[in-house]
A and B are shown apart, each in its own frame.
Chain A
């Protein structure tokens, strides 16, 4: 079974702007990250998957169901957590999640039980009987996740689930996503504009920029593509860069600040050995990464 499949999927809102530009890919079930800068077309893509927007051309399927023809079946099988606010203020978390469970086809009693379980699963306890209007942003994000899970979907579509959360809240949310995907066997399709968080929970990664597919493959390979080791030197030492290049590393930067593409842990050893041989005064080493925008700009630049 394929989780998601697209063929020449294109969506344009106006003649000269393509929100999605000829996307073609197939993804197997698992935890899939979908990265792109803000405005890259992530939400548009999810709305097409849910049958809320029609593609301009091309096709897409979710769990082998066509987004045009089988949208009701898709919606029954999928849980959706939107990026924006989507909760009423004067209903309690428990009531609202139970209501959403019933909307997805659960009988009354089952919906109430599942709602209580899901709210506990996402970490809301006694607060679930209070009105949602009084919840913190973190609690609201948890309710949003619970309502997406209440009907036990086969696939979760999470649109920027860590948006607006503080660092601790982000950790919790990422942990929940990882647990849901790995321990409970629900496939997860999660979008983010922050590569750093998404790659920690995902197995597979798709990157788009301005509606175009930029990457489709395992997370590890994409990490390599984007990670850079910055080596700061106290003194200029041009030999270090030359030596590292001769040993097969991809090095650029200035004489006092080298930027080195990280392959694996042996990269550190190569740098250590070279620095020791040359007596290069290393002041600091730090793992940084390209921002998504920079990465795509570089690629676009390289290709044309």
Chain B
């Protein structure tokens, strides 16, 4: 935007009092949410901050775009598979969370920006909640975004979009519930872990470590365990949890050969464990930031 450049005048403006509107304190939380959501995708940041989010966005959206494209040219709407896509994104969003959760909270502490936030009408707990909401929203873009694309593809490819919509719209509820639960699960874990790290790299490594080591440990224990213990240990594996949960949500029979299929656990168990982890991780995160509230 060009600025008026009349000689001298620009420097004589100096300081001006502000007499305009001042918004309620809740505005601070909304502002932090919006700013953090943009940060999660590297918007308003340098070029390097955009690389990882852009790559992951491409990876999750391209298959959806290809599915819709293939379905529209071949006419086989059955190519579109919601549950399959949720499983496919499960691993990618853990990578996204490992890269971006530290970006959201560790850098604020590392560079001291948190001090400025806490000197504003905002508490430590509200700060943490805004960050959690922002990361969940960012992950909804990655999980629900492609699903919505698949849904719209299904509707508009159909000979009669309205009929297709009325047939298909009931799937939107489980779609939103499913992607939201999975996003909260991964985001709360990633932020809780990051809240203990002093540097971004340590936080990222710890989050990736968690999502790699916990399944590895679970597999080892499972190979030693027998009977019911063996069956229940599938719940200790983050990715299997998401798969089991997705099957339950979309009423899909788990394949016999898979870990989830062999465990033969009720689908609600997966959901309960996911919820439990979300509550614990969120509590840890909020407790970490409550220390800042005198």
Chain A residues at the B interface, C-beta cutoff of 8 Å: 48, 50-54, 71-72, 75-76, 78, 80, 82, 84-92, 95, 99-100, 102-107, 110, 114, 117-118, 120-121, 131, 133, 147, 149, 151-152, 179-180, 183-184
Residues of B within 8 A of A (CB): 10-11, 13-18, 20-25, 27-28, 31-32, 35, 44-46, 48-49, 107-108, 111-113, 115-122, 292, 294
Verify A151–B18 contact, CB threshold 8 A. yes
Task: Tell me, in angstroms, the Cα distance from A126 to B28 when the chains sit together.
Answer: 28
Query: Are B18 and A72 touching (Cβ within 8 A)?
Result: no
Closest to B30 in A: A102
- Contact between B25 and A105 (Cβ–Cβ < 8 Å)? yes
Taking CB as reference atom, which chain B residue is nearest A95? B44
Task: Tell me the bound Cα distance from A234 to B16 in angstroms.
Answer: 57
Given known A-B contacts A52-B119, A103-B32, A103-B117, A82 and B112 have beta carbons under 8 A apart = yes
Could you list 6 further interchain pairs (A-B, Cβ under 8 angstroms) beyond the known A85-B111, A107-B21, A107-B23? A52-B294, A82-B112, A86-B113, A105-B24, A120-B10, A120-B11
Which 4 A-B residue pairings sit nearest by Cβ, starting from the closest?
A: A152-B18, A86-B112, A80-B119, A54-B294
Q: Which residue of A lies closest to B21 (CB)?
A: A107
Q: Is the CB of B23 within 8 A of A120?
A: no
Contact between A76 and B121, CB atoms less than 8 A apart: yes
22 contacts between A and B (CB under 8 A): A52-B292, A71-B294, A72-B25, A72-B121, A75-B121, A82-B112, A82-B115, A85-B111, A86-B115, A87-B111, A88-B113, A99-B35, A102-B27, A103-B31, A103-B117, A105-B28, A105-B121, A106-B22, A107-B20, A152-B18, A179-B14, A184-B15
Q: Evaluate contact between A103 and B28: CB separation under 8 angstroms.
A: yes
Q: Which residue of B lies closest to A176 (CB)?
A: B15
Residues in A whose Cβ lies below 8 Å from that of B292: 52
Task: Say whether chain B's binding surface is mostly helix, strand, loop, or mixed.
Answer: loop
Q: How far is the CB of B17 from chain A (nearest CB, A)?
A: 6
Complex alpha-carbon distance, A279 and B108, angstroms: 67
Chain A, residue nearest B1 (CB): A116
User: Once the chains bind, are B111 and A88 in contact (CB under 8 Å)?
Assistant: yes
A124 to chain B, nearest CB (A): 12
Complex-state Cα separation, A86 to B110, whole angstroms: 9
Q: Which residues of A contact B21 (CB under 8 A)?
A: 107, 110
CB A251 to nearest CB in B, in angstroms, measures 47
Q: Pick the residue among A90, A102, A117, A180 that contacts B31 (CB under 8 A).
A: A102
**Do the beta carbons of A152 and B17 come within 8 Å of each other?**
yes
- Across the interface, do B22 and A105 meet the contact criterion of CB distance under 8 Å? yes
Given contacts A76-B22, A76-B121, A90-B45, contact A183 B31 (CB under 8 A): no
The answer to whether A183 touches B121 (Cβ under 8 A) is no
CB within 8 Å for A147 and B15 given contacts A87-B111, A103-B31, A110-B21 = no
B116 and A183 contact, CB distance less than 8 A: no
A100 vs B122: C-alpha distance in the bound complex, in angstroms? 12
Give the docked Cα–Cα distance between A92 and B121 (Å): 23
Considering the chains assembled together, what is the distance between the CA atoms of A28 and B32 in angstroms? 34
CA distance A184 to B13 in the complex (A): 12
> What residue of chain A has the Cβ atom nearest to residue B112's Cβ?
A86
